[in-house]
Structure 1
Amino acid sequence: MTGERAAAGSEVEAVQEALSYVCTHLDSLRMLLRDWPGDPMARLLEAVRTGTGVGDALDLVDTALLEAGDARGVFGRRDLPAAAGAPAGPPNVPGLGAGHRAEIVFLCPSARCSHSWIPDSTATAVPRCAMDDVPLQPVEL
């Protein structure tokens, strides 16, 4: 486990956040690392598809990005912690209770990453996972 990955909190959360970043930026990361020795992006995608060695494959992509000049790699993308004294959890919003339309968010279909998508009025189709071409799964909030 790399230093950034260890410092990011739990390993599972770090891997999910890193996979979300990779999923969201897959095309640009493929382009950036297309000629990189050992093809770390292909190795990561294969690891995701088979479900084995994902953490190690993410480490390879992280190292390649850092060596390519990306100062944060895939593990340095997490949000900063909440300010001291800030309330934990979602804000209490008056008016949201029984009788209101449920909100839908679409999540990673295999729960491998923390990627999410909230449709708006212009949405015509549900996006697909960039790693294995499966539609994102709806979850009612």
Structure 2
Amino acid sequence: MAIVCANVEHIRRRLCDSPAGDDTVLQELLNTARGGGEVAGPVNVLHSVLQALGDLQGLSTYTIRRRTGDRDVHPAGTDRERPSEPVYLCPATRCARSWWPQGPVPVPHCAISGEALRRDQL
């Protein structure tokens, strides 16, 4: 769901530009998520539809670029008292979406609820 949420407009555009010309499968997934339903099936359908449209990696085409490294590891000699790094997460904790502030840009919104991602600390 994090991939869908972070890329909903790109995915919608891809679906609407397809021969079918609509985003019904995406809307069904979003409606299921908004209603608190199980999203595994609709996510798999969307993934398969994208593959059928020629995106062989399906949803993986839109994989969120993440920073590398385990942020829970504190090597000897590092300052653990240093303030934590801010991160923004899914407002309803429905998915693993995350976003790091990148200068003076607006905080992204959840494609499911429309709420701004919630601020947290690493």
1:97 paired with 2:63, answer no
Match of 1:130 in 2: 111
Aligned residue for 1:59, secondary structure, equals helix
**Which structure 1 residue ranges, 5 or more long, are not aligned?**
1-18, 80-87
Q: Which residue does the alignment assign to 1:48?
A: 33
User: Aligned partners of 1:55, 1:128: CA distance in 2, in Å?
Assistant: 22
Q: How many residues align?
A: 114
**2:17 equivalent to 1:25:** no
- 2:97 corresponds to which residue? 115
TM-score norm. by structure 2 comes to 0.76
Residues 101, 136 of structure 1: alpha-carbon distance in 2 compared, 3 angstrom cutoff: same
- Mean CA deviation greater in 70-79 or 105-114: 70-79
User: What amino acid is aligned across from residue 119 of structure 1 in structure 2?
Assistant: P
CA–CA distance in structure 1, aligned partners of residues 106 and 32 of structure 2:
27
Q: 1:38 to 1:21 in 2, by over 3 A?
A: closer
| AA aligned opposite 1:132 | S
Report the alpha carbon displacement of residue 124 of structure 1 after superposing the two structures with TM: 4.7
User: Hey, what's the Cα distance between the residues in 2 that align with 1:33 and 1:137?
Assistant: 29
Gapped regions of structure 2 (runs ≥ 5): none
Shift in Å, 1:37 = 7.0
1:139 Cα deviation after fit: 1.3
Report SS of the residue matched to 1:25: helix
Shift of 1:89: 3.7
Taking structure 1 as the reference length, the TM-score comes to 0.67
Pair 1:67-2:52 in alignment: yes
What percentage of residue pairs aligned between the two structures are identical? 26
Please tell me the residue identity of whatever aligns with 1:58.
Answer: V
CA distance in 2, matches of 1:37, 1:132: 21
